[in-house]
Amino acid sequence: MLRNRRPSPQTAAVLRALAAAPEAWRHGYDLGREVGLKAGSLYPILIRLADGGLLEAEWEPDPPRGRPPRHLYRLTPAGLALAQSLPEPAPAPRRAPDPAKRPREAW
């Protein structure tokens, strides 16, 4: 059962990435690279989304010879609706340059 609250920024990033091509099956490794999450953060998100009925998960049907099958993921209609309802992420704030990291001027 999903909680009735806004997804975390990390979950929202995964949903947006999957919603970019909702009919396509995606590998977790590719998703992690795209959204900047490591496996320890990404896979619990994918499991929660699948358990909540927002994500389909299946094993890769025909993996290349010599490589084990991978899990593939894509949004369900409910997952796509949630992804489309999310507000656009706010742009990252610009930070002032750190004066300690300024290059030294010529002597």
Model confidence pLDDT, tens digit, residues 68-86: 888 999 999 999 999 999 8
CA–CA dist 65, 70 (Å, integer): 13
Q: Which of 1, 38, 31 is nearest to 14 (CA)?
A: 31
CATH architecture label of 9-86: Orthogonal Bundle (1.10)
- Widest CA span of the chain, in angstroms? 65
pLDDT at 32 over 90: yes
pLDDT of 1: 47
Mean pLDDT of the chain: 86
* Percentage of residues of the chain with pLDDT beyond 90: 61
pTM score: 0.77
User: What is the CB neighbour count within 10 angstroms for residue 102?
Assistant: 8
Summarised one tens digit per residue, pLDDT across range 2-17 is 556 788 999 999 999 9
Q: What φ, ψ does residue 71 adopt, rounded to 5°?
A: -75, 145
Contact in structure between 73 and 18 (CB atoms under 8 Å): yes
Task: For residue range 45-73, list pLDDT tens digits in order.
Answer: 999 999 999 999 999 888 888 888 889 99
**pLDDT at residue number 82:** 93
